[in-house]
Structure formats: C-alpha cells, structure tokens
Amino acid sequence: MSRKQVIQGGARGGGPRADDTGCPILHVDMDAFFAAVELLDRPELRGRPVIVGAAGARGVVLSATYEARRFGVHSAMPMTRARRLCPSAVVIPPSHGKYSQVSRGIMELFQSFTPLVEPIASDEAFLDVSGAGRLIGSPAVIAELIRRRVREEFGVTCSVGVASSKFVAKLASRQCKPDGLLVVPADGVVEFLHPLPVAMLWGVGERTESALTRLGIKTVGDLARVPPATLKRELGQAAGAHLAALAWGRDERPVTPHTPDKSIGAEETFASDVHDPEVIRRELLRLSERVAARLREGGHVGRTVSVKLRRSDFTTITRSRTLREPTDVAAEIYATACDLFAAAGLQRVRLRLVGVRVEGLRPVEGVSHQLKLGERDLGRREAELAADKAVRRFGPGAVVPASLVRPRFDEMDL
C-alpha cells in the first residue's frame, strides 16, 4: 500500500491496523470527483492539471485534479482566477448527468455494507457500520473494502475517515486525501484534534475565525482551553456551546439515512448581464427541461414552481406558484416560470442570473394525472418520457426543444 493511501501512526491517527474499537462512523469522500469521472473518458489527461467548470467570464471551478490544486486552484474559485493561476490547465465543461450516474452507483455500493448511509453531497457520505461487524469485519476493514471496490468498480478513488463521531470522521478523511484511509482511535480524539487549525472546525467561517483570532485562538487546542462561558459571551450562546463541544470531540449526531429531496432546481449565471426577455424565456425553457428531467429521473413530481431572478446589482427576487396538480412535465413548469417572470415586472431589467425550482415533492407512484379539457390521452408527459429514453441511449442533447438548438450558456447546477 502506497504512502498516499495511508497516514501512519502518531497524534494524527493511524492506518487500517489502528485501534478502531468504538469507531463505527465512516466518512467517505471521493477525490476530485467530477474531474476523476471526466478522466475516465479522457485517460490521456491523467497526470496533467485539469479543471472542470464553465469556461465563461463568470464561470466557477466545480472540480480540479490535484495537479491543478498544486497551483492554488480549488472548487468555487472564479474560472478567470483559476486560469491565471494555472494557464496550462485543460478546462472541461461539466457533464452533470454523468456525475449523477456514477454517484448513484457508489451510493448503492455503500448500502451493500450498511443501510445507515447519509449522503451529504453527490461525492461524500457518512456510514454507520456498527451492525456490519459480525458479517464483514471491523470498521477499518470495511473502510478498506469500500476503497478497493470503489476503485475497481468505478475507476475513481476515495478517502475514508474512521472515527467515533461524524465530526471527527469527516476531519479524518480530509487529512488523508487523496486516496487515503485514516482511523482516529476513540481514546485519541483529543490528541488528533488539538493541533489542528481552528478554521477546520465545522461552523467556523471567516467571521467566526476573525473573532477567535482576536481572542488569540489559533488551534483547536487553544479553543479547548477557553471557558465555555467566554465563548458564549463572544460568539453567542448557540455558537459558543457548539464550538466548545467540538473542541473536545463531542458530536452526538447520528448517521441519518437519506431523506427524500424537498426540491429540485437549476440556475444559470449569464456570461454578461441580459435584458432581452426572449433570451430570458429561452433560458427558463432550458432550465425547466433540466428540472423536469431530474424529477422524472428521481421518480418525483412537485406542486410548487418558483423562479429566481438576480439583477445586475445582485438584488435577488423570487416568485412562486402552487399548481392544482403535481407535475414532472417541462412544458407545465416552463409555462408557470414564464408567468412568474412576467409577474415580477423585470422584462427590461438587466439580469445576471435566473433559476427554476420545483418544490413540494412527492413520489410519482399513486399520483393520477387528470386530463385537461381537449388534452389527448398521449400528451406532453409521454413525449418527454420518450425523450428521456433517447437521452439515456444517445447521450445529453439527443433531444432538445427547437428553440434551444443554438449555442448554450455556461451552466451550473444548484
């Protein structure tokens, strides 16, 4: 096993043979996931700096290989800055459907080890393997099996933290990236935590870090030595109590299996501000198509359609409408989105971003579709389901509305 795969011993934890007694929580985090999936189709780019993201002036980095990260590139960074930092990088536009497909397979793999899987993003999840020990092995053994199967079955790598709590497991997976496994023994949590920068704690953003710095707090150990009453006075009751507990590794949150999505949406940041209503409506159509496809893919329908409209001065306006019946049909979502756009009175206002979202989701099973007056038995929904089959067979863009057969804007999912 390479040195990249395991961080050995000492205060920072240990490899697969470290004592994992009382450490049933795993945090599995894919390594540069979007970029890794793209390299499956572009193996000639392995070892080179690669950035996944929209290439426009307002695009952002969605993922970057570790070769690009050495130049300071990271996710959520403006693409213009990333290109300045790493001009030799290869930029690949995102393929969200491809990432979703691989993510679903990986999550199903996790569930073959334990039903207690809590996805927190498409590329990471918590697992509680306390009930899998007798059949499979100890938490560290399960972690190594997961790493091996992810690599063999999906061609990508992941890093796994093993600990007694979700908070510590997530920190452990971060410490052993990329392609690593780190066990933090239950009796070694404080030794692991206290040398770490306080900014690594869950809930410490820029403002909180600045407040802690003013108190002379730089490490988690520094934080642990501050009386909780002082933290509550300086940061507020909730934040102070929260950080005081984390500084000693106390985190009682259980692993909660995946809960159904409450909403599905997509949004678009334009390369330059747009004030043409026809361009806005065309973008609303494209977003409605994407949202509807994701609803059908997940077996959902929803009743409430909302639009998000951000002006050039960053003022954001949202409008929503609840439909009489739940839907997963793009035509219905689009018609409602256009009505909401018109009602907002922004037809000639310069916009930098628009978004479409469907809320109030429920499973499509058991939802009957009432035909409207004059509507044919086989209508828009059947046509869109047929289009879904074509897309699955021939790839994204196989079937699109005629008005969208033109150069597309850079895109980013919510």
CATH number assigned to the domain comprising residue 219: 1.10.150.20
Beta pairing partners, 30: 158
Q: What is the pLDDT of residues 186-211, one digit of tens each?
A: 999 999 999 999 999 888 888 888 88
CATH number assigned to the domain comprising residue 384: 3.30.1490.100
Q: Give the residue from 99, 101, 102, 124 showing the smallest Cα distance to 255.
A: 124
| Same domain? 99 vs 199 | no
| Same domain? 180 vs 198 | no
What is the DSSP annotation of 223-258?
A: HHTS-HHHHHHHH-HHHHHHHHHHTTT---PPP-PP
Q: Which of 161, 186, 211 is the last residue of a domain?
A: 186
Q: What pLDDT is attached to residue 124?
A: 95
| Same domain? 180 vs 239 | no
Band of residue 6 on the pLDDT scale cut at 50, 70, 90: very low
Q: What is the pLDDT of residues 14-49, one digit of tens each?
A: 555 678 999 999 999 999 999 999 999 999 999 999
Look at residue 22 and tell me if it is in a domain: yes
Across the range 174-190, mean pLDDT stands at 95
Look at residue 253 and tell me if it is in a domain: no
Q: How far is the C-alpha of 345 from the C-alpha of 358, rounded, in Å? A: 21
Q: What is the pLDDT of residues 135-157, one digit of tens each?
A: 889 999 999 999 999 999 999 99
Band of residue 288 on the pLDDT scale cut at 50, 70, 90: very high
Which position has the higher pLDDT, 379 or 396? 379
Residues that constitute the known binding site for Mg(2+): 29, 123
Q: Give the residue from 79, 78, 102, 108 showing the smallest Cα distance to 91.
A: 79
| Same domain? 113 vs 77 | yes
CATH number assigned to the domain comprising residue 161: 3.30.70.270
| Same domain? 280 vs 385 | yes
Q: How far is the C-alpha of 6 from the C-alpha of 29, rounded, in Å? A: 15
Q: What is the pLDDT of residues 91-120, one digit of tens each?
A: 999 888 889 889 999 999 999 999 999 998
* Percent of the residues in the chain that have a pLDDT greater than 70, as a whole number: 83
| Same domain? 146 vs 235 | no
Catalytic residues: 124
* Domain total in the chain: 3
Look at residue 65 and tell me if it is in a domain: yes
Whether the link from the prior residue into 178 is cis, omega within 30° of 0, is yes
Look at residue 387 and tell me if it is in a domain: yes
Q: What pLDDT is attached to residue 10?
A: 32
Domain of 198 in residue numbering reads as 194-246
Q: What pLDDT is attached to residue 262?
A: 79
Q: How far is the C-alpha of 207 from the C-alpha of 59, rounded, in Å? A: 26
Q: How far is the C-alpha of 331 from the C-alpha of 292, rounded, in Å? A: 9
- 2 has pLDDT over 90: no
* Percent of the residues in the chain that have a pLDDT greater than 90, as a whole number: 59
| Same domain? 392 vs 340 | yes
Across the range 75-92, mean pLDDT stands at 93
| Same domain? 139 vs 159 | yes
Look at residue 257 and tell me if it is in a domain: no
| Same domain? 220 vs 136 | no
Q: What pLDDT is attached to residue 15?
A: 55
| Same domain? 42 vs 135 | yes
- 369 has pLDDT over 90: no
Across the range 62-90, mean pLDDT stands at 94
Band of residue 183 on the pLDDT scale cut at 50, 70, 90: very high
Look at residue 254 and tell me if it is in a domain: no
Across the range 263-269, mean pLDDT stands at 88
- 372 has pLDDT over 60: no
Taking all residues of the chain, what is their mean pLDDT, rounded to a whole number? 85
- For 370, counting Cβ atoms within 10 Å of its Cβ (0-12 exposed, 13-18 middle, 19+ buried), the class is exposed
Q: How far is the C-alpha of 221 from the C-alpha of 196, rounded, in Å? A: 8
Look at residue 300 and tell me if it is in a domain: yes
| Same domain? 276 vs 169 | no
| Same domain? 207 vs 155 | no
Q: What pLDDT is attached to residue 234?
A: 86
- 4 has pLDDT over 50: no
Q: Give the residue from 344, 327, 345 showing the smallest Cα distance to 288.
A: 327
User: Helices (DSSP H) in 10-92: which residue ranges?
Assistant: 33-41, 66-69, 79-85
Look at residue 256 and tell me if it is in a domain: no
